[in-house]
């Protein structure tokens, strides 16, 4: 009987510690969607709340691909970008909006996942794609530049363009109702 009581006490202590400190990658209670998203933000290390929207990519083959996006339009939001995120969904990304055409570069500083970077002109056409950009090493972090001026940039998971048949010349339409946006 003492053994059984001791075993129950140990198991109870284990469950308590697991819920409090999450030392194993399991959950004993079911989280609500809101709690899960808050945990994801904490794990990502990026607690910035961005405006949400979507873009639709129209391929030459006639496919329409919808990507849910966080919006980065202020200089601070564009600088932070997707930094420190451990994960983005298969059809999630970040839509960068610039006030005017630019040729500035991007880099993968503080990134934890590789990305495809899609450069889009002011008319909504893809002018360049930099596929499978890798995270920076401790001693090397190259600047990633478009071969042509752009107004918008869409960052998505690496290999997204290849998997969805997205190429230069395809078009993108944003879900933001704003005359300064495609």
Q: How far is CA 42 from CA 38, 46, 152, in A?
A: 6, 7, 28
Tens digit of pLDDT at every position of the chain (182 positions)? 888 888 888 877 777 666 766 655 554 444 444 444 554 444 444 445 678 999 999 999 999 999 999 999 999 999 899 999 999 999 999 999 999 999 999 989 899 999 999 999 999 999 999 999 999 998 899 999 999 999 999 999 999 999 999 999 999 999 875 545 66
d(CA 109, CA 111): 5
- 49-174: what fold? Jelly Rolls (2.60.120)
Residues 6+ away with beta carbon under 8 Å from 35: none
Domain map (residue ranges) of the chain = 2-42, 49-174
Contact yes or no for 68/89 (Cβ under 8 A): yes
Contact yes or no for 131/159 (Cβ under 8 A): yes
Contact yes or no for 178/152 (Cβ under 8 A): no
């Amino acid at each position: 009987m003492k053994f059984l009581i001791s075993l129950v006490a140990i198991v109870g202590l284990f469950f308590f510690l697991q819920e409090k400190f999450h030392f194993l990658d399991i959950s004993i209670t079911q989280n609500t969607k809101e709690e899960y998203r808050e945990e994801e933000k904490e794990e990502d290390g990026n607690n910035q709340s961005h405006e949400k929207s979507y873009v639709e990519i129209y391929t030459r083959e006639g496919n329409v691909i919808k990507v849910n996006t966080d919006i980065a339009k202020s200089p601070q939001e564009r600088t932070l970008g997707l930094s420190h995120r451990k994960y983005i969904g298969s059809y999630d990304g970040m839509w960068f909006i610039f006030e005017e055409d630019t040729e500035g570069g991007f880099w993968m500083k503080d990134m934890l996942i590789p990305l495809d970077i899609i450069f889009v002109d002011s008319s909504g056409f893809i002018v360049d794609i930099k596929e499978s950009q890798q995270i920076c090493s401790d001693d090397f972090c190259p600047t990633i530049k478009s071969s042509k001026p752009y107004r918008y940039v869409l960052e998505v998971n690496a290999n997204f363009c290849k998997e969805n048949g997205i190429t230069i010349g395809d078009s993108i339409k944003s879900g933001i109702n704003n005359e300064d946006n495609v």
